[in-house]
Every structure is written in C-alpha cells, then in structure tokens.
Amino acid sequence: MNPDIIRERQNAAFDVEKLTYILDGGPEKTKRRREIESLVFSDPDFNEEDPNFLSRSERYDQAVRKSAQMILKLREYGIADPEEIYYYKSCVHPGRPSPLDLHLAMFLPTLLNQATPAQMDRFFMPAWNLEIIGTYAQTEIGHGTHLRGLETTATYDPATQEFVLNSPTVSSIKWWPGGLGKTSNHAIVLAQLYSLGNCHGLHAFIVPIRDMTTHEPLPGIVVGDIGPKFGFNEVDNGFLKLENVRIPRENMLMKYSKVEPDGTYVKPPSSKLTYGTMVFVRSMIVGESARALSKSCTIAIRYSVVRHQSEIRPGEPEPQILDYQTQQYKLFPLLAMAYAFTFVGQYMTEIYHRISEDINRGDFSQLPELHALSAGLKAFTTWEANSAIEVCRMSCGGHGYSRSSALPDIYVEFTPTCTYEGENTVMMLQTARYLVKSYRQARAGQQLSGIVSYLNESRDRRVQPQAVAARPPVVDINDLSSLVEIYKQRAAILVEMAARSIQQELQHRKSQEDAWNNSAIDLVRASDAHCHYVVVKVFHDKLKGVGDTAIHSVLSTLALLYAMHGITRNSGDFLQAALLSVPQVLQISVRVKELLSQLRPNAVALVDAFDIHDKKLNSVLGRYDGNVYENMFEWARRSPLNATEVHESFQKYLKPLRSKL
Amino acid sequence: MNPDIIRERQNAAFDVEKLTYILDGGPEKTKRRREIESLVFSDPDFNEEDPNFLSRSERYDQAVRKSAQMILKLREYGIADPEEIYYYKSCVHPGRPSPLDLHLAMFLPTLLNQATPAQMDRFFMPAWNLEIIGTYAQTEIGHGTHLRGLETTATYDPATQEFVLNSPTVSSIKWWPGGLGKTSNHAIVLAQLYSLGNCHGLHAFIVPIRDMTTHEPLPGIVVGDIGPKFGFNEVDNGFLKLENVRIPRENMLMKYSKVEPDGTYVKPPSSKLTYGTMVFVRSMIVGESARALSKSCTIAIRYSVVRHQSEIRPGEPEPQILDYQTQQYKLFPLLAMAYAFTFVGQYMTEIYHRISEDINRGDFSQLPELHALSAGLKAFTTWEANSAIEVCRMSCGGHGYSRSSALPDIYVEFTPTCTYEGENTVMMLQTARYLVKSYRQARAGQQLSGIVSYLNESRDRRVQPQAVAARPPVVDINDLSSLVEIYKQRAAILVEMAARSIQQELQHRKSQEDAWNNSAIDLVRASDAHCHYVVVKVFHDKLKGVGDTAIHSVLSTLALLYAMHGITRNSGDFLQAALLSVPQVLQISVRVKELLSQLRPNAVALVDAFDIHDKKLNSVLGRYDGNVYENMFEWARRSPLNATEVHESFQKYLKPLRSKL
C-alpha cells in the first residue's frame, strides 16, 4: 500500500462503510453487490485479456465468449432479478457494453410488452434460450430522433398474407442497432405500415435476418457492421438493408394494433403505452451519469494524492498535487456532483416505481411530469458528467491520456448517453415544453402541484429586468435551503423569460412554430435551470435522512459546494435577477475556497465510499493500493508492440532508407 | 454534388477564394499550399489503408513506411523550408502525428542549438541521413512539468572520462517521448549532472540506445512502447530505463555548459537560452487550436445543411438541422472562435518573429511579455478548442461518434495539447505571475507598455465591489471597440482582485507561497480574462486590414458574435464590475440571436474558406460534395468485421451454447 494513500485514509473524519451503505441504499444491498462481484471476479471463466491490447475483432470475440458464459452462469446461480442481472453483467463486461445487450434489454422486453400470446409461444422461449438472438432496429442512417421521418416500409400483401419489407433509399438503411451487424439472427424492425393503399405509421415487425443453422444472411438481407467508432468496440452496431423481404402476417407485433388477413388495419387503444419504457431508460441513464463520474473521481482523486509534483514552498519536497488549490477546484466540485447525481438517480428510480404503480392502476396523471423530468435530467446529468469526466482525465496530467488510466474508456463508453435515447437538446426542449405549458396554466389561474408548483408564484409577478434588479436580496448564503430557494427562483424567472420570448415573437407575427424555434436558446436555458434546481433540492432533501453526524457533516459540505459552485458558474443569472447582490457573489467565491480546504482531508475517503472494485475500475492510476508507477510499467511491458524487441518496420523501411539517402 | 450544399454555396454573400487568401496570409501562400497538397495527394506512394481499419502495429508500420517515403520525396523535390516541410508532413500524415516527429522537430533542432562543432560533425549528418534516429527524453513516469524534480542521473567518472547514466527509481523511468519505444536508436536524455560529488542540475546527453545494425537495445538499456493511448496510435511513445549506461564525456551537449576531462564543471552563460524554443512551440500550438477547430466546424456545419431532421412547421418536409436556432447557437460561436484563433495564431507568429530578431540583437526586454502571452494563449485556446471539438462532434448526432466522421480522431489527436508543452493550469499561473508583477509595478508608479499597459489605470482605482457596481455603464454594445474596452476592464479588475486576494492572505500571516496557492483560482481566472481580452482585441484589429466590403461585413459579424457570446457566458463578471447593466446583458442575448440569423446564409461559405482538402479532412460527414450517406455505407462495408459474412465467434460460442441451455 502506498504510504500517502494510507495516511489519507487515516485522516478521514467519518466511517466510510456507513456512507457506502447510504450510497447503495442499505447494508443488505452492499452485501449482495459484493457477493455478485465476488462471483464474477473470482471466476476463472471470466478471465480476459486487456481489451486495449486486442484488435477489434478479438475484442468482439472475447465479448461474445464472455456473454455466452454469462448466460450459462446466470442460469446456474439462478440469478433472475433484473437489477441483479444488470449488476452481474456490469462486472462481466466492466465499463463496456456487450454484443448481447440489445437482445437482453430491448428484444426480450419488447416481446414481453408487444407480442400476442401466440407470438410469445413462437418467439419467446427460443429467444430466452438464445436460439433466436435479436436486436431492435429503429434508427436509420438518415433518421434519428424524429420517428415520423423513418422511411423503411412494410407493405401488406393480402394475396400471400405477408408483409414485404423494403429500404427504399440509402437514407432508410437501418443503422446503429447494437448486435445487428454480426450477432443477431432476428431483428425487431420499425417500419411504416402500408395496407390497402394507406399508411398507418410506424409499427414493429419480427424479421429473421440470418439462417438459424449457418448464420448466413437470408435472401434480400444486406447486413453488416457499421465500422469502428469512438468506443463501443465490443459491440457490432450494424446496418440492415431490406430488399423485398417477405415475412408472414403473424410477424407483426400485434398485441395492440393489428392487420387482419384481408388487410384491414385495427388501431391501438392508446398511443402513450410506450412512454413508460422511455422514462425507465432515461432514469437509468441518470444513474449511469453518477456511476461514470464516481469512477472518474475515484481515479483522479486517488492519483492526486499519490502524485507529487512541483513545489509550493521552495526547498520542501514536491507536494501531493491534491494540495494545490487549482486541483481541488477542478475535482471537488465534480466529487460533489457525483454525490448529487447518485442521489438524483435514486430519486428518479423511486418516483419511477411510484408512478409505475399509478399507471398500473390506470392513473396517468403524473406521467407528463415524470416524462418531462426524466428527459431533462437525462440531458442535464449526461452533459455535466460528460465534461466532468474529461476534466478528471486532464487533471491526471499526461497519464490520464494512457489507456491504462481507464479514463479514455470511461469517456468513450459514456459520451453516447448525450445522444442516444433522446438527443440532449431535444430532451431539454421537451422539458421546456412542459415548463412553458405549466407556466401558462399557472398564469391562467390553475394551481400547479408537484415539482413545477413554484411556477404558481409567477401569477403574482411581472418580470421587468430593471425592477427585478432593484429587488433586495435577502438570502443567507450559508444556508443550503436558502440556496435551494434562489435556484428555484432562478428557474422560475428563466421559464418566464422563455415564455415571454415566445410571446414577443408571436407579436412580430411569427407562427407558433417559428416563435418556438426563435426562442429555443431561452427554452434550453430554462430547462437547464429547472434541472439544476431539482438536483440541488434533491441533494438537500437527502441530507434530512442522514442520521450519522460525521457523514451528515461531510455530505452537507459537499451539497453546499455543489450549490455554491453552480452559483459562481452562473453568477450572471443570479445577479441579473437580483437573487444575489454583488458582495454576496464575492462572498460565495471565498466560501467555495473554504469548502475546498474543508473537504481536502476527506477526499480519498469520499471516493473510497463509492466502493468500486479494482477490477471494475480497471485503472492503474485509480488502484485502491495507490501503487501506480510500478503497475503502469508492468502494464506497458505487456503491450503488443513490445512482443518483439525489434519491430519489423525497421528491416522493411528504416534500414533500406539509409542506402537511398 | 448534394443539392442542399449547392444551394448553400449559391447563397453566400462574399467571395470565398478571397477570404481563403486572408486566412492563408496571401494568394501566393494559398497557391503554394495547394501545390504541396497536390504533390502528396496525387502520389500513389502515399496511398494508405484507413488507419481505423488497422491494428495498432499495422498503423505504426504504415506510418513508418510513409515517413520513410516522405524523407526521400522531400529531398527529391528539394523542399527545405521548415514551414513547407511541416505542411508536407501534415498532408502525408493527415491529422496524425508520426513516429519520426520528434526526430525532426526535437532531436535535430536540439543538436543545432546545443551541440559543439565537434558534436555536429559526429552526429548531425548521420541524423540528417536517418542512420541516427533520435528522440528527446525529458519527462519521467513520476515527473512532468517540474524539471527540478527529474531523477535520472548522469554521474561523471574521471577515471574513464565517461558519464554513467542511471534510472535510480521506478518513478525516474523516462516515459512518453515520441519515437522512443521502437523507432529511435539514440535519445537526447535529460539528467541531473553529478561531477566530483556535486549536482549541477539538468543537462542533456546523447545516449545510444539501440545497436546501429541490429536495432536491438544496447546493454543496460530497457526500452519499449508505453502501450495504447486515447490517440497517437501511430506513435511509439516510449519508456527508457537506464542501468549503468556509460557514454563518452563528449556525448554531453556542451555548447553552453561543460564538464572538463578532470570533472570540473563550467556553467552556461545564461539560463534563458531555451526560452525561445518554448515560446515558438506554444505559438505553434495556438495555430493548432485554430486548425483543429476549423476542421471540426467544417464537418459539423456541412453535415448540418445536408442532414434533415424533425420538423419546425407541421406537415412541411424535415428542415436542414442548421435551421434550428439551437444548432446555430452550438456551432456559429465556435465558427467565430475558429476565425478568432486563426488570427491569434497569425498574430503570435508575427510577434514571435519580431521578438526573435530583438533577441538575436541581444535585446531580451520583450521576452517576459512574449513568454507570458504564449503560455496563456496556449492554455486559453487549447482549452476552448478542446471543448468546442466535442460540441461539434455531438452536434452531428450519432454519426459524430462514428470514426468515419473523423471527429473522434480530431479530438484524441488534439486533446494532448492541453497537457503537453506546459500543462494548461500551470501555464495560466505563469501568465498570472507576469500579470500580478506588472500590476504591482503599475501600482508602484511604473509606466507599463505593451499588452499589459491597461494595468496602468489600476493606479488610480480602488476596487470596492459595491462602489464598482454603482459605476454607470456607458458602453455601446453594438460597437466592437466598446466591447474590446470592457473585456480589457474586466481583465484589469480580475487581475486586481487576484492581487488583492494574495494581499489578504498575506495579512492573515500566510507565507508568500501559501498566499499564492490560496489565490490560485483567482489567478487562473485573471489570466483567462486577460487572454480573452487579447483574442477579442486581435480579432478587432484584424478587421481594420480587411479591404473587401463583403468579407469585412461577414467577419465583423463573426467578431461581434465572438465577443457577445463570450459576454453572455461570463455575464456575472461584467455585471459584478458594473461594466454592463442588466438591460444591456439582456439586449446582448437578443443580439446574439440576430447575429446567428445573419450568419446562417454564409455558414457553409465560411467553412469552405478554410479550404481544407477532403483528403486532409478525411470525414464522410464533412465531404465537400455533401454526399454523406452513400459514402458512409461504402466506408462501413470496408470495415474488417465485414470481411466474412459470419464471424468465427458464432461457431465457437453462440452455436454450442444452444445445446447447453
């Protein structure tokens, strides 16, 4: 164990294990999590070569091998709880997606939700037993977010009672689905349904794409891998071009809408049935933001106490770089963010479950709020975490750039969350739509409830910038609940400003749509402020439930830092709305520095509390024992380029060059 | 040619070719640049496989082959001007560093600067003819920025008149030098010189590391590749462990300092001789920021007019995504930044040349200012461009994540600039040291000249936040020179605040060093504001020299957008110092939107003016002809994973699994 990191742990002012329980949601959860880790990490069947030393084909190969093993082990151990399966998988493929992810997370659940009983009989058990391996093919090369723009067609032929599927243009080629390129033999294809000359919009079809025995592509199917990406090297994200592919009528997923044998189309009872899944996935992504950021902070903070560099006082030994104020200022606000997002992730899961029960009882009233909240928080947390991971990487100096640090991998595997499951700007605008609608309802005299109830106050206010600026600020900057309050007022004012921008555009005789588009910057800003408020509020609320004094104290410091750092970064908003005075903003800057010093002795303990197993972290810089350099040297020597002392290019190019010059 | 992109070009309001001349520095430079491009891109010897489809060893192999070819061709064509060599190389290895970069850019120049005539005779011609291939080994695994912390030792042995080199610890292993792992047979090693029992600090030694005939490592040398990184896949960044390696006394670079045969040490005449190189390299990096960002903007903006998505008005066809205000707001400020940084790069090169002449005449008076400026602008532009590249990537939706977009590669090859040649936070603090020193001189009554002359005014001012806030703002927000003025005042105030923070810490009986460290956040902020001011000022000054009315108009719009967008992002600073009023900040937000609309018709023309050859851009999304999707499909089909229809993992793992479940 590195002596620096031992000393850090001795200096911690709270019980790390107890904080871990809070983060996991209870000691039993921590125990079970560690049991699962131990099952995977002690299992020689899951030994692997560092993927960084493999070609892409080898990486894919290794991932398929381990996924196949995983399926066998899960059955052997009888692990069936979805959350436990998810965690087991995250240990088998630490920090990496796998080729079977869409089969497990999209193909099977879609069958469960949308297949008729007859279809379940035909498809579910073969899929459960991995004879059928499936994916979910929605996005096309020229079409993403906007579902109505998708071009793939499924035309019903009553003569043969078949659908004929086609990719009519280059831009309609299915593109991106994970596991589509090489792994799957079936795909659920989203296509525009045509029957009896009419288009009935997007529907889902089960399309066999490869032969069940030979795995060769079937006639009319052009399928393959879309090529290397920033990350996701283990996954065969694929393309699929359909050329007059015929499937039986019974392959349309018909639980809700139907096509009768004669071609008659029967509409689904409700169009909002798929909302739940979207909300669930986006809630999960909020948790993903927390996990990716927790990992990054663990690596950067542990390495910052092991690394000595430069000098603060001449003649003294080089200090730990975490003693530099600039390093603390880079990392501690992100540590606070990691905690904030962890609690927001828990909060999202809780309300998802609560509202799911409402939905099951037929009560849809909370769905719009949950939908808006999950969209906005997905965007807010992924954008913030995305930048934060890179700050962590760069705070490690040159070594953060080495694959041995794991930080490049964390980034490339995480950054797609900003784009998939709803592009972030589009998500922010969806949340804004809900906020503006709520604002208008409040102005019209409706009493709002839930998270947007703060908009009720807008009834009584007329925002005039100058007038606002003159309002005397009364906030106590050292009181977190005061800060929650001004975050709330900032959100209220920015929602109001966005709504007024739309109003002004309309007065210039713009259409509703152009007025909306010409206010989009303000709308995104309003959503951002709303989400920021929610995060600060959730962190504040979480503190109320923490009984342990020492932990309460350190978490309060983190929460205050999170709130105050956010104010310094957005001080213009708070000054503009006169929520804070100039002297208060200056005081907050000074307080931020004090909070950094307060957190310094607990920094390593706070990342230790995330309790991320070394094999999950996979980082020489972030090792629990702090023995960084010897292990980095060890790792480098295993690099494939060191397999021979002399690379063949010397004999091929460099030596012959001498005689030519 | 894609019809959308044709229409964009038809709508441009200025002559693209003329703007290209301004960016290149004159029509002759444009002509010569295109000649060099044509020499490389029409040469079949430089054909290559897309590196994204190769293993790391194959990438290295291909890069060595092309580098060897390049050396031959440069001699054949008689290209000897360093700038032309640099450009030729950037076409041979488009967007990628190469294994011989350090030989050309560090090993040969260091010989030229620091070798004695006798050493030149022994080493220079063999190195020129690539018998000797060298690198520059300074950084160690545990030591970066702080040179005094380096641990490698070179101990003089008068008995044999040799130096004995050692890596005494794991943390002293040389780490990171490009070309060290596999390519070089010599290294210039920086080591602590010991003679007659005394340490004389860091000196440079020429150390043979591999056998000239077999290329095998020499006795006592442990050398190899440091393993895969985020990018730099073509480069064998290496490690070097020295175990009692003996080299002749004459292998110490002795142009300035010396060790006599008896071990007597002779000091160098000046310690500032190496400043020039550092300043030069950092100035070049500012240009690199501009180029990386120009490429990214070219890709994102061209793709944004080709890509149609979603809807603004119901029922109408999907609009080009560049018609969304949010997309314009993401990209146009970055386009403005790319222009700003291009002009700052030109400015840095000009003043570097001017001051170099001064230095050659023995006038060192401008060196501190240039040193501070190059450090700060290196940090400012690389940080800004680094984030901006990722915004460009994410603005392309999912496809930005594909390696075919080139955006992941631009990012990973660029991001090390934030760390190497002076870590950015350290650079900002160096600039701050100069600013605070200048501020104190001004307060003491000295008249400052040059870029910091604005600090002269601080003599007459006492910053009191409240008092400042009460000062009436008189700025005309639509006048760029007014905005330059308030950027200047913002810098002055933030320098003053940082200096006062140090003062306050000292009053709390902190030492100078602790006072400095406890003010580091403010110091970085002051440097940032100073650099921001310089960039806005340089852009403004550049406009004065632009004669063409149409170009002047569009560049003015860009400059205004750059300045105003910077104000909206930092509005707290401007409000806090009462440089702007609340209504003015709100007006600026509205003006930003208007500027976005103004730029929209010229967006494609403005990126066309960068005139980046398709083969340099290497991006299916950024192609000049806009034919994105068919080429993306084409590219994907060449992916190695598509070499066979059925991947072997199916037979190995998936098929056998069926019988086990």
pLDDT at B271: 62
**How far is the CA of A21 from the CAs of A8, A15, A24, A437, in angstroms?**
21, 10, 5, 40
Q: Which residue type occupies A57?
A: S
**Tokens describing residue A188:** 């659920």
**Do residue A402 and residue B226 have CB atoms under 8 angstroms apart?**
yes
**Do residue B215 and residue A655 have CB atoms under 8 angstroms apart?**
yes
The question of whether B421 is a catalytic residue gets the answer yes
Q: Is the pLDDT of residue A463 over 80?
A: no
Q: Is the pLDDT of residue B477 over 60?
A: yes
Q: Which of A148, A576, A585 sits opposite B582 (nearest CB)?
A: A576
Residue A499, min C-alpha distance to chain B (Å): 14
pLDDT at B472: 52
Q: By the 8 A CB rule, do A38 and A616 touch? A: no
pLDDT at B361: 86
Q: What is the mean pLDDT of chain A?
A: 94
The stretch A546-562 carries a mean pLDDT of 98
A244 CB-contact burial (10 Å; exposed 0-12 / middle 13-18 / buried 19+)? exposed
Domain ranges of chain A: 134-268
Q: Tell me the helix, strand and coil percentages in chain B, rounded to 5.
A: 60, 10, 30
Calculate the dihedral angle through the C-alpha atoms of A64, A69, A73, A79, rounding to the nearest 10 degrees.
0
Residue with tokens 């390593």: A604
Q: By the 8 A CB rule, do A645 and B218 touch? A: no
**Tokens describing residue B599:** 């730029």
**Do residue A520 and residue B71 have CB atoms under 8 angstroms apart?**
no
Q: Which residue type occupies A450?
A: G
Q: How many CB pairs under 8 A join A and B?
A: 395
Contacts of A125 in chain B (CB under 8 A): none
Residue of A237, A383, A642, A648 for testing the chain B interface, max B β-carbons within 10 Å: A642
pLDDT at B468: 47
pLDDT at B356: 83
Q: Is the pLDDT of residue A189 over 80?
A: yes
| pLDDT band for position A356 (cuts 50, 70, 90) | confident
pLDDT at A467: 45
**Do residue B637 and residue A224 have CB atoms under 8 angstroms apart?**
yes
What is the second-level CATH architecture of the domain B134-268?
Beta Barrel (2.40)
**Do residue B312 and residue A571 have CB atoms under 8 angstroms apart?**
no
**Do residue A394 and residue B418 have CB atoms under 8 angstroms apart?**
yes
Q: Which of B517, B592, B653 sits opposite A312 (nearest CB)?
A: B517
Residue (of B6, B252, B513) closest to A319 by Cα position: B513
3-state secondary structure A564-607: HHHHHHCHHHHHHCCCCCHHHHHHHHHHHHHHHHHHHHHHHHHH
- Cα separation, A621 vs A629, whole angstroms: 8
pLDDT at B555: 98
pLDDT at A391: 98
The stretch B576-581 carries a mean pLDDT of 96
pLDDT at B82: 87
Residue B422, min C-alpha distance to chain A (Å): 10
**Do residue B236 and residue A638 have CB atoms under 8 angstroms apart?**
no
- Cα separation, A578 vs B140, whole angstroms: 51
Task: Give the nearest chain A residue to B126 (CA atoms).
Answer: A658
Does B178 show up as a binding residue in the annotation? Answer: yes
Per-residue model confidence as pLDDT tens digits over B606-651: 999 999 999 999 999 999 999 999 999 999 999 999 999 999 999 9
Residue of B125, B139, B325, B518 for testing the chain A interface, max A β-carbons within 10 Å: B325
Using only C-alpha atoms, chain A has a radius of gyration, in whole angstroms, of: 27
Contacts of A229 in chain B (CB under 8 A): 401-403, 408
Residue A386: in which H helix or E strand, if any? Answer: helix A367-394
Task: Give the nearest chain B residue to A518 (CA atoms).
Answer: B325
Q: By the 8 A CB rule, do B277 and B113 touch? A: yes
Q: By the 8 A CB rule, do B95 and B410 touch? A: yes
Task: Give the nearest chain B residue to A567 (CA atoms).
Answer: B572
Residue B119: in which H helix or E strand, if any? Answer: helix B117-119
Per-residue model confidence as pLDDT tens digits over A200-224: 999 999 999 999 999 999 999 999 9
Give strand pairing partners of B222. Answer: B241
pLDDT at B469: 46
Give strand pairing partners of B194. Answer: B155, B199
What's A56's DSSP letter?
Answer: H
| DSSP class per residue in B198-228 | EEEEEEEEEEE-B-TTT-PBPTTEEEEE---
CA B447 to chain centre: 34
Among A137-151, A602-616, B550-564, which is the least confidently predicted range? A137-151
Neighbouring CB atoms inside 10 A of B468's CB total 17
**Do residue B661 and residue A630 have CB atoms under 8 angstroms apart?**
no
Residue of B431, B523, B570, B654 for testing the chain A interface, max A β-carbons within 10 Å: B654
Residue A12, min C-alpha distance to chain B (Å): 22
The stretch A271-297 carries a mean pLDDT of 87
Q: Which of B60, B585, B646 sits opposite A649 (nearest CB)?
A: B60
| pLDDT band for position A234 (cuts 50, 70, 90) | very high
Q: Is the pLDDT of residue B360 over 90?
A: no
Residue with tokens 């005309």: B476
Active site residues per annotation of A: 421
- Cα separation, A24 vs A32, whole angstroms: 10
Positions at the binding site of A? 139, 178
- Cα separation, A560 vs A557, whole angstroms: 5
| DSSP class per residue in A314-372 | TTSPPPBGGGSHHHHHHHHHHHHHHHHHHHHHHHHHHHHHHHHHHHHTT--TTHHHHHH
Residue of B633, B634, B648, B658 for testing the chain A interface, max A β-carbons within 10 Å: B633
Among A519-533, B78-92, B448-462, which is the least confidently predicted range? B448-462
Q: By the 8 A CB rule, do A290 and A342 touch? A: yes
Q: Is the pLDDT of residue B462 over 70?
A: no
Q: Is the pLDDT of residue A142 over 90?
A: yes
**Do residue A521 and residue B593 have CB atoms under 8 angstroms apart?**
yes
Contacts of B574 in chain A (CB under 8 A): 572
* Residue of B151, B162, B384, B421 marked active site: B421
Per-residue model confidence as pLDDT tens digits over A235-262: 999 999 999 999 999 999 999 899 999 9
- Cα separation, A324 vs A318, whole angstroms: 11
Q: Is the pLDDT of residue B467 over 50?
A: no
Contacts of A143 in chain B (CB under 8 A): 309
Q: Which of A231, A309, A660 sits opposite B72 (nearest CB)?
A: A660
Residue (of B574, B588, B586, B587) closest to B473 by Cα position: B574
pLDDT at B175: 98
**How far is the CA of A154 from the CAs of A28, A151, A203, A207, A259, in angstroms?**
50, 10, 9, 11, 12
pLDDT at B277: 76
Per-residue model confidence as pLDDT tens digits over A480-490: 999 999 999 99
Contacts of B83 (CB under 8 A, 6+ apart): none
Residue B189, min C-alpha distance to chain A (Å): 19
**Do residue B64 and residue A642 have CB atoms under 8 angstroms apart?**
no
Residue A126, min C-alpha distance to chain B (Å): 9
| pLDDT band for position B312 (cuts 50, 70, 90) | confident
Among A152-156, A468-472, A551-555, which is the least confidently predicted range? A468-472
Give strand pairing partners of B190. Answer: B204
Q: Which of A71, A229, A232 sits opposite B661 (nearest CB)?
A: A71
| pLDDT band for position A386 (cuts 50, 70, 90) | very high
Positions at the binding site of A for FAD? 139, 178
Q: By the 8 A CB rule, do B99 and B183 touch? A: yes
**Do residue B145 and residue A310 have CB atoms under 8 angstroms apart?**
yes
pLDDT at B313: 79
Residue (of B42, B29, B31) closest to B91 by Cα position: B42
Q: What is the mean pLDDT of chain B?
A: 94
Residue with tokens 């580098």: B67
pTM to 2 decimals? Answer: 0.97
Residue of A98, A143, A213, A326 for testing the chain B interface, max B β-carbons within 10 Å: A326
pLDDT at A639: 95
End-to-end CA distance of chain B: 53
Contacts of A236 in chain B (CB under 8 A): 641, 647
Contacts of A53 in chain B (CB under 8 A): 227-228
| pLDDT band for position A272 (cuts 50, 70, 90) | low
Q: Which of A67, A131, A329 sits opposite B658 (nearest CB)?
A: A131
Long-range CB contacts for residues B36-39, cutoff 8 Å, separation at least 24: B36/B79, B36/B84, B36/B87, B36/B88, B36/B91, B37/B91, B37/B613, B37/B615, B37/B616, B39/B73, B39/B77, B39/B88, B39/B91
Long-range CB contacts for residues A448-452, cutoff 8 Å, separation at least 24: A450/A366, A450/A369, A451/A369, A451/A373, A451/A534, A452/A369, A452/A530
Angle at B551 between CA B550 and CA B557, to 5 degrees: 95
- Residue that wins the pLDDT comparison between A458 and B342: B342
**Do residue A521 and residue B329 have CB atoms under 8 angstroms apart?**
yes
Contacts of B505 in chain A (CB under 8 A): none
pLDDT at A466: 47
End-to-end CA distance of chain A: 53
Q: Is the pLDDT of residue A80 over 70?
A: yes
Q: Which residue type occupies A398?
A: G
Per-residue model confidence as pLDDT tens digits over B246-267: 999 999 999 989 999 999 999 9
**Do residue A318 and residue B465 have CB atoms under 8 angstroms apart?**
no
**Do residue B661 and residue A146 have CB atoms under 8 angstroms apart?**
no
Taking phi first (over 0 means left), then psi (-120 to 50 degrees means alpha), and beta for anything else, what does residue A232 get?
A: left
Q: Is the pLDDT of residue B284 over 80?
A: yes
Around B329, how many Cα atoms within 13 Å sit in the side-chain half-sphere?
A: 21
